[in-house]
Amino acid sequence: MGLIDLLKKIEPDKKKSPFMHTLYDGFFTFLYSPNSTTKGGVHMRDGMDLKRLMVYVVLAMQACFLFGTYNIGHQHFAAAGMFPGFVEGFHLKLVHGLIQMLPIFIVAHVVGLGIEFYFAAKKGHAIEEGFLVSGALIPLIMPPDIPLWILAVAVAFAVILGKEAFGGTGMNIWNVALLTRVFVFFAYPTTIAGDEVWVSGYNALAEGTQASYGWAHGMFNSLFEMMGLSTFQESTTKIVNGFTGATPLALAYQGGWENVTATYTPSQMWWGSIPGSIGETSKPLIIAGALFLLFTKVASWRIMLSMFLGGMIMALGLNFWGATPFMEVPWYYQMYMGSFLFAMAFMATDPVTASNTNRGKWIYGFMIGAIGMIVRVLNPAYPEGWMLAILFMNTFAPLIDHYVIQGNISKRLKRA
């Protein structure tokens, strides 16, 4: 117990420096679970706490993180027609991915956690764990080329106005990660919409544009040279003829499934070596994460299942209508494109912003699936529907719960 004595010795005074104490407390409880015992009420408590819960959600996303990082590099070179095999140029793809990804991850966490720490110190309570999950989700739903200052502003907006203004973790109405994204989407539409944002490392996506590398690439170049590996070359890495960077959804909107498969094969879309938001492309890894959350009972199976059904049934309805080529895309291929599965596994299942009641969760999930599919297929202004559908249903979740609760109340009254 040497370490713990040392840590206890350096504990800052709570009154003199509340911020330092909050910070200390945050890290101390991260290292050690506290020695607090039950008082009044039950004498034993379940081993589960919020830290463990949140960490399990973050664990479920790790595979998406790894794949997403590598895929940034893969898309970068795919635009130049280099290293067409997924594992060719492995070191270059990985390093380029990390150079793009790490700053996004760090900025999201420094800004978000900084604000959380500040508010925790100001309110005089312990740091809450909510941002662990939001902070892990935010990088996964950003385009790889997002300017860091926009990301910082968006995170600050979401955490301050979306969460702390409502009272912190557990009190927010809207999903914090999606608020970050929706802020970028509406405040800086050109950075998150259109075809050009999904490939990083180029100033524009016109044919012949050279890649532009920074000091970090240079540093790795010297390392790679020493090891006798291929290096980043601005002069030879040029966008090839015909490359548009369009995502499958954009292609589907223009010409249906045939237009999509002209550029990407279904297996490419399934495994995820396509352009898109960082973490949402690889379907097997998302499904693995979803299964992990379902097995550990961390996420609600009701929401996942009902959202899947909602999306499926709406897609079948659109198939039946069939007025545009996009409507005719079979429902199962709709799942291949875009971020349907990612939204289902990680976004809709946020317990705070979803419906609280079990019956409400069925309605909530189903409506997200149905509305998101409508936005995706029928609305040309928005390439993807889940962000808007989830935020929309976040807003209505309390209303759904209200009616479920009223049902319970009137049942009780009728019984009398």
Q: Does 361 bind another protein (CB under 8 A)?
A: yes
By rule CB under 8 A, what string of x and - marks binding of each residue 125-154 to another protein? -x-xxx------------------------
Q: Does 55 bind another protein (CB under 8 A)?
A: yes
Contact with another protein (CB under 8 A) among 171, 219, 240, 399: 171
Residue 216, both tokens: 């970090």
Q: Pinpoint the alpha helices (H) of 188-330.
A: 189-192, 215-227, 248-263, 266-271, 283-295, 301-321
* Rounded CA separation 202/190 (Å): 15
C-beta of residue 278 within 8 angstroms of C-beta of residue 139:
yes
C-beta of residue 373 within 8 angstroms of C-beta of residue 314:
yes
Residue 309 to residues 28, 314, 355, 385, Cα–Cα distance (Å): 44, 8, 17, 16
Among the listed ranges 72-80, 202-210, 251-259, 403-411, the one in contact with another protein (CB under 8 A) is 403-411
Contact with another protein (CB under 8 A) among 6, 10, 31, 204: 31
Closest to another protein by CB, 48 vs 165, is 48
Backbone angles phi, psi at 159, to 5 degrees: -75, -40
Contact with another protein (CB under 8 A) among 9, 15, 16, 43: 43
* Rounded CA separation 53/58 (Å): 9
Q: Does 203 bind another protein (CB under 8 A)?
A: no
Among the listed ranges 93-101, 145-153, 161-169, 263-271, the one in contact with another protein (CB under 8 A) is 161-169
Q: Does 267 bind another protein (CB under 8 A)?
A: no
Q: Does 9 bind another protein (CB under 8 A)?
A: no
* Rounded CA separation 176/174 (Å): 6
In whole angstroms, how close is the CB of 170 to another protein at the nearest point? 3
Q: How would you class 262 by CB atoms within 10 Å of its CB: exposed for 0-12, middle for 13-18, buried for 19 or more?
A: exposed
Among the listed ranges 29-37, 63-71, 173-181, 379-387, the one in contact with another protein (CB under 8 A) is 29-37
Closest to another protein by CB, 3 vs 87, is 3
DSSP labels for 62-113?
Answer: HHHHHHHHHHHHHHHHHHTT---STTTTHHHHHHHHHHHHHHHHHHHHHHHH
Name the residue among 141, 156, 142 with its Cα closest to residue 111.
156
In whole angstroms, how close is the CB of 300 to another protein at the nearest point? 7
Contact with another protein (CB under 8 A) among 66, 351, 378, 382: 351
* Rounded CA separation 269/333 (Å): 9
Contact with another protein (CB under 8 A) among 10, 13, 35, 381: 35
Q: Does 90 bind another protein (CB under 8 A)?
A: no
Backbone angles phi, psi at 175, to 5 degrees: -60, 120
User: HSE of 144 in the Cβ direction (CA atoms, 13 Å)?
Assistant: 32
Name the residue among 2, 30, 19, 247 with its Cα closest to residue 132.
30
Contact with another protein (CB under 8 A) among 17, 358, 379, 395: 358
Name the residue among 217, 219, 214 with its Cα closest to residue 203.
214
Q: Does 334 bind another protein (CB under 8 A)?
A: no
Q: Does 262 bind another protein (CB under 8 A)?
A: no
Among the listed ranges 166-174, 179-187, 195-203, 318-326, the one in contact with another protein (CB under 8 A) is 166-174
Q: Does 408 bind another protein (CB under 8 A)?
A: yes
Which amino acid makes up residue 70?
Y
In whole angstroms, how close is the CB of 387 to another protein at the nearest point? 22
Closest to another protein by CB, 41 vs 228, is 41
Closest to another protein by CB, 379 vs 406, is 406
Q: Does 45 bind another protein (CB under 8 A)?
A: yes
Which stretches of the chain bind another protein, using CB under 8 A? 4, 29, 31-53, 55-56, 126, 128-130, 167-171, 295-298, 300, 351-352, 354-358, 361, 401, 405, 408-409, 411-416
